[in-house]
Homo-oligomer: A and B are copies of this chain.
Amino acid sequence: MTVPPRGFPDAEFEARTRRAQEMMAEADIAAVLVCTEPEVRYFTGFHTPFWQSPTRPWFVVVPAAGKPVAVIPSIGGPSMSATWIDDVRTWSSPQPADDGVSLLTATVREVAGDGRIGLPMGPETHVRMPLNDLDRLRAELGGFVDATDIIVRLRMVKSEAEIAKHAHICGLVSNAFDELPNLLSTGMTERAAFQAFRAEILRQGADDVPYLVGATGPGGIDDIIRQPSDRLIADGDLLIFDTGSTFDGYFSDFDRNFAFGHADEGARDAYRAVWEATEAGLEMLRPGVTTTELFTAMNDVLKANGSLGNDVGRMGHGLGMQVTEWPSNTDSDDTVIEENMVLTLEPGLVWAPGKAMVHEENLVVRAEGPEMLSRRAAPELPIIGG
């Protein structure tokens, strides 16, 4: 397997910035302020897990023309200066009395002049800085306009370089799932099963496995976001793994289901229902279709198969630098699907009281339809040690 190159050429960041600036001009926005890990990485290439420390805020200001400006703690200075960004302004943080607020205020004023200042304020965004500091910033700058739409439209459509990273990690995780029957057996604890699977994904070449949840249960499972317990896997159990693994900061996101030894008809039918619902989604998926049409196509199959509903709230979503991104496949999302969106289809149903089945594939939308990124799961519930 060819490993895609790490990082991106400067042309990628130039194109992202140019597209942002076109949308900013249309919306009469003179500067956009971003402050979360994926937003900052999107415009700069700055890529570090250091964001897990909640101590310091980080900011990037996208101007109407020219390169973005970074306003960051000095600990990030060397790494940010190694990106395509030229204008890196730092302060010594932590400094609670003024943790970047005055430097950011001055920078935004300089960049935006009298123009309007955009900030993502809508669904799936948040402002990563203390609310007291945000209030002060708003007072100083006279408020923000919502720039969510600009960020969403940019990030939903992937470049070929981004798609190559998704394809790579999806291939690695598909390989790891193929090994699962050799790794797991009854008598193991859930925790040991998770450890074995995580180690296998890393062995295949993933950079990390930031997201791994799942559960086992006799004849079925009711909760898909659990962490492992010391429960021993037994004959007749169902297992779900939901994993988000990364290559160079881009995610895969798989739900896969397995039975140990044997499975009853209800479980096998439920598996077949989510598999067929995925087929229905794949069949109709192409640019111009909406996420709501996609939801309906999958949901119709589940309803015809006796779904008692589900708690997930959607049937798939965008995939990117985060394990879930816009859009959501729901009954009201209505996003028009475009070429080069990377999406998951994730139909799920409750097939008996307290028994859920959720299935997920990853794909990129091409002009002619979906191109699979995950290797399509088997059409029948796989049995381990059967």
A: residues with CB less than 8 A from B are 6, 47-50, 52-56, 73-79, 82, 90, 92-97, 99, 119-132, 134-135, 146, 148, 195, 198-199, 202, 208-213, 222-227, 229-230, 244, 311-314, 317, 322-325, 328, 330, 332-333
Contact = CB atoms under 8 A, between A and B. Distances in A.
A211 B126 contact: no
Nearest to A223: B78
Given A73-B313, A127-B126, A311-B77, A211 B49 contact: yes
A124 B323 contact: no
Given A313-B93, A328-B94, A225 B79 contact: yes
Nearest to A47: B227
A312 B75 contact: yes
Contacts of A199: 199, 202
Given A94-B314, A322-B54, A330-B94, A126 B128 contact: yes
Nearest to A90: B311
A113 to B, nearest CB: 23
Contacts of A328: 55, 94
A48 B213 contact: yes
A40 to B, nearest CB: 13
B146 A123 contact: no
Nearest to A199: B202
Contacts of A123: 55, 94, 96, 99, 130
A-B complex: 6 closest residue pairs judged by Cβ atoms: A78-B223, A121-B131, A53-B324, A96-B123, A74-B311, A50-B225
Contact of A244 (B52, B97, B135, B325): B52
A140 to B, nearest CB: 16
Given A125-B131, A208-B209, 16 more contacts: A49-B212, A49-B213, A55-B328, A75-B225, A79-B225, A90-B311, A94-B124, A94-B313, A94-B328, A95-B330, A121-B131, A121-B135, A122-B130, A126-B130, A198-B208, A199-B199
Contacts of A325: 54
Contacts of A244: 52
A198 B205 CA distance: 12
A237 to B, nearest CB: 17
Nearest to A82: B223
Contacts of A75: 224-225, 311-313
Contacts of A202: 195, 198-199, 202
Given A50-B225, A330-B94, A317 B55 contact: yes
B126 A131 contact: yes
B79 A226 contact: yes
A303 B324 CA distance: 47
A259 B312 CA distance: 50
24 contacts: A47-B227, A48-B226, A49-B210, A49-B212, A52-B211, A52-B322, A54-B322, A54-B325, A55-B123, A74-B311, A75-B224, A75-B225, A75-B312, A75-B313, A76-B225, A94-B333, A95-B330, A99-B123, A121-B132, A122-B130, A125-B130, A126-B126, A127-B131, A210-B210
